[in-house]
Amino acid sequence: MQDGVSKNRRFVIAATLFGAAAMAVGTLTGATPALAQQSPSSSERIWTALKGDVFGDRQILSDTGLIRIEAPKRAQDAALVPVDIYIDAAKAPPDGVKSVTMIIDVNPAPVAATFQIGKDAGVTHLSTRVRVDDYSYLRAIAETASGELHMSSTFVKASGGCSAPAVKNTDEALASMGQMKLRQFTPAATETAGNAPELQLMIRHPNNSGLQRDPLTQYFIPAHFVHKLSVSQGDRLLLAMEGGISISEDPNFRFDFSPGAGDIKVEATDTEGKVFSDEWPLEAAGL
């Protein structure tokens, strides 16, 4: 799967840049891109054509209950769509789930992210925020350690998320880029009311999609986003991500985990090669 995902990531980044160039040509020629909203059936057709690029001819099992993805049926803000992914540990095989790939069918770069789950990390719930460019299915595909693929999907009505203007201006975004904050939640305080603590990681980064315009020059802002992330405790990996343009500005990830010994360490790398890192001790009172 790794080779397929890496290959597809290169493909979809190229597609993003091509899409930005096509939009620029349309602006110069006076052409207006079609804004027809996708239907569930058209999103399914895109997925049918796309899935081979990501997973080859491997069988993908649907709605087995191992994994579930949730998002609002109609997004309030297409650039900040909250997504929750749940793994049912009771339905997982003994070797567990090793990764989850999130796909947004209609986005210019459909593979939003692939999350690697550390062995014995205990991750059963992950939430983040994404951009959605048009009405689309959002999909979460879990891969078990033995190579089985299990998929869950939900349809979201949203449009324009990938080209929506940034919340911050360029100077403000650059000044705070790379700053991180980690929040820790006790089991009693977690939204899922489970038995595991949760971590919430917030990273300051514009995560430019390549489809947004500078408000002054009206030129397209080059794509610049966090594409690699790892969260570990001591030498033990909890969660890692390889992401694309669909992750929202100021990436935000919240997940549960099985705590062990050592500090929480985070390292993030963006597409310009900048590396950001930080670490925090576990709060003894909280965990």
Tens-digit pLDDT profile for residues 202-249: 999 999 999 999 888 899 999 999 999 999 999 999 999 999 999 999
Show the tokens assigned to 69: 């993805």
Domain, as residue range, for 106:
2-280
**pLDDT band at 169, cuts 50/70/90?**
confident
Rounded to an integer, the average pLDDT of 187-213 is 84
Q: Does 196 reside within a domain?
A: yes
Contact 115, 128 (CB under 8 A): no
Distance between first and last Cα of the chain: 35
Q: Does 18 reside within a domain?
A: yes
Domain with residue 39: its CATH number is 2.60.40.2470
Q: Does 286 reside within a domain?
A: no
Q: Does 285 reside within a domain?
A: no
- CA 97 to the chain's CA centroid: 17
Q: Does 287 reside within a domain?
A: no
Residue 75 has pLDDT above 90, yes or no: yes
Distance CA 123, CA 189 (A): 17
Show the tokens assigned to 197: 């603590």
Residue 279 has pLDDT above 80, yes or no: yes
Distance CA 137, CA 150 (A): 16
Work out the widest C-alpha separation in the chain, in whole angstroms. 62
Rounded to an integer, the average pLDDT of 169-194 is 81
| Alpha carbon distances (Å) from 164 to 130, 172, 196, 219 | 12, 17, 36, 14
Torsion of CA 161, 47, 145, 123, to 10 degrees: 30
Lowest pLDDT segment from 38-52, 83-97, 273-287:
273-287
Side chain identity at residue 48, one-letter code: T
Mean pLDDT score of the chain, rounded to an integer? 87
Q: Which residue has the higher pLDDT, 264 or 192?
A: 264
Residue listed under structure tokens 């965990």: 287
Number of domains in the chain: 1
Amino acid 13: pLDDT: 43
Q: Does 242 reside within a domain?
A: yes
For the entire predicted model, the pTM comes to 0.86
Q: How many CA within 13 A on the CB side of residue 191?
A: 10
Tens-digit pLDDT profile for residues 9-57: 444 444 444 344 334 333 333 333 434 578 899 999 999 999 999 999 9
Burial class (CB in 10 A: 0-12, 13-18, 19+), 77: middle
Rounded to an integer, the average pLDDT of 61-84 is 97
Q: Directed axis angle between helix 40-55 and helix 2-29, to 10°?
A: 130
Phi, psi of 279, deg, nearest 5 = -150, 155
